[in-house]
Amino acid sequence: MSVPSNAPQAGLSSAKTVPGQSPEEKRSGSSELDTREWRGRFPYNEIISLLDVNRPLNLAESTSQDLTVGELLDLAGLERIRELKLGYGRSAGAIELREAIADVCKVPAEQIITTQGTALGLFLLAFEVCRPGDEAVLATPCFPPSRDSLLGVGVNVREVRLSFENGYRLDLAQIEANLSPKTRLVSIASPQNPSGVQVSRTDIEKLLALLARRSPEALLFIDETYREATYGDNAAVDSFAGFDPRIVTGASVSKALGAPGLRTGWLTVADADLRSRLTVAKMNTVISGSVLDETLAAVLLRRRESVLVSRRRLLAGALEELAAWCKSEHKRIEWLRPDAGALCCLRLRSDAFDDTAVSRFWDLLPDYDLQLASGAWFGESSRVFRLGFGYLPLERLGSALSALSSALDAAAS
């Protein structure tokens, strides 16, 4: 069994970041964590720094460019929003929103539970599906809360470490070796975070067969947050919601649609008993979703194609620019081309950067106004980093990549 340490991990630079820390404090490295051990219920992870640090050349974010309130109100209509009553929302989520999600996922609306982003769904599943002594199998590298929510509620986590060399493809043999009658949850993502690599339907079918044989009480959770962030005219693959009653999917309006500030996500849950338990768990943690957020999210989902068309075009252009840069830097970096999402994984070549040079690389990034997401956040080596190519305007991506080349020059010298 592989469980990550609770110690702070490598991140934007060698200095640690704590919640609420200013960029100046971050750069100087001043924090209480420098002098005492972290004692939180949830493991500390420097991905929290993305909420508080936003350098001019931000290649760390995995979302598309942020929507503005004005753009969203143009879709919704200002008068309708002015008349909205700010009372409590429905326990499982606004009906209009759940119907819009049902159309996206092609399942009945009653199978939808809305959550504050996919992150709350991860916590609710960990808290409600698993009990002390139960096991969960988790494919890594992964979005940190996918692991840390399980650890925070006391689940025994068995990590299946996918490899850069194998393109982060699902390792079914390794998953099978970690399944047991105690397994209650298997958690994967498609497309994966941080790599943007998708899981095939054939592999999902094989995985479900493994669960039936080795872990008959287990559910399969599939995080589909980046599914609709495709490139150009590429169609998004169908959701796995409704594919099998043992599958729970999660997604949100945060990434492909560029609205993480709405804090609106969802779970698709076929089992009525589990839906009831998750709804009660939601009530006991956040009561309900924000009626304003859910109203705007419903409008956004109903009009999502008009929003996605332009974003997919921008992502396609950005991906090609990144591909050309990676080709020019092939002697110093390796990369995995993503299947979907505004993100991908790059790795500093071991024949160009020794361990000292890798550490120097992270220390130098602030000098170039650069921001990257360390592989250590996701359960990988700090030699690997997630690069987000959809957050910056396309006209600034080239400058950011040029600055990254300069940082590579300085780190290697």
What is the average per-residue pLDDT within 55-83?
Answer: 90
- Check residue 18 and give its pLDDT: 40
Is pLDDT above 80 for 259? yes
Q: Is 82 exposed, middle or buried (0-12, 13-18, 19+ CB in 10 A)?
A: exposed
pLDDT for res 16: 42
Alpha-helical (H) ranges within 23-171 are 23-28, 69-76, 78-82, 95-105, 117-129, 144-152
* pLDDT at residue 331 tops 80: yes
Closest of 135, 133, 113, 117 to residue 186, by C-alpha: 135
Structure confidence at residue 39 (pLDDT): 87
Residue 34 predicted with pLDDT over 90: no
Query: What is the rounded average pLDDT of the residues 60-77?
Result: 91
Give span(s): CATH 3.90.1150.10, the chain.
Answer: 23-67+306-412
Specify the range with the lowest mean pLDDT, choosing from 13-22, 184-193, 307-316.
13-22
- State the average pLDDT over residues 306-315: 96
The model scores a pTM over 0.85: yes
Give yes or no for residue 407 having a pLDDT over 80. Answer: yes
For residue 27, the model assigns a pLDDT of: 40
> Percent of the chain beyond pLDDT 70?
91
Contact 382, 17 (CB under 8 A): no
- Whole-Å CA distances, 306 to 299, 310, 317: 12, 7, 18
H-state helical runs in 20-94 = 23-28, 69-76, 78-82
**Range in 2-16, 76-90, 163-177, 360-374 the model is least confident about:** 2-16
The predicted pLDDT at position 132 comes to: 86
Binning pLDDT at 50, 70 and 90, where does residue 222 land? very high
Distances (CA, A) of 190 to 21, 238, 347: 32, 11, 21
Mean pLDDT across the chain, nearest whole number? 91
Residue 2: is its pLDDT beyond 80? Answer: no
Q: Which residues pair with 347 in a beta bridge?
A: 334, 384
Burial bucket for residue 47 (CB in 10 Å: 0-12, 13-18, 19+): buried
pLDDT at 19: 41
pLDDT of residue 6 exceeding 60, the answer is no
**Confidence class of residue 281 from pLDDT cuts 50, 70 and 90?**
very high
Q: Please tell me the predicted confidence (pLDDT) of residue 108.
A: 98
Two tokens at 290?
């924000």
- Check pLDDT > 80 for residue 24: no
Query: What's the pLDDT at 36?
Result: 55
> Is residue 252 within 8 Å of 266, Cβ to Cβ?
yes
CATH class of 23-67+306-412: alpha beta
How sure is the predictor about 80, in pLDDT bands with cuts at 50, 70 and 90? confident
Average pLDDT over residues 163-168: 98
Q: Answer whether residue 63 shows pLDDT above 50.
A: yes
Residue bearing the bigger pLDDT, 273 or 25: 273
Specify the domain boundaries for CATH 3.40.640.10 within the chain: 75-305
| CATH of 75-305 given 3.20.20.120, 1.10.1740.10, 3.40.50.720, 3.40.640.10 | 3.40.640.10
Paired sense of beta strands 57-58 and 370-371, if any? parallel
Which pLDDT tens digit goes with each residue over 87-127? 999 999 999 999 999 999 999 999 999 999 999 999 999 99
How many other β-carbons are positioned within 10 Å of the β-carbon of residue 211?
Answer: 21
**Torsions phi, psi for 398 (to 5 deg):** -60, -40
Asked if 180 and 215 touch (Cβ cutoff 8 Å), the reply is: yes
Helices (DSSP H) in 166-265: which residue ranges? 172-178, 201-214
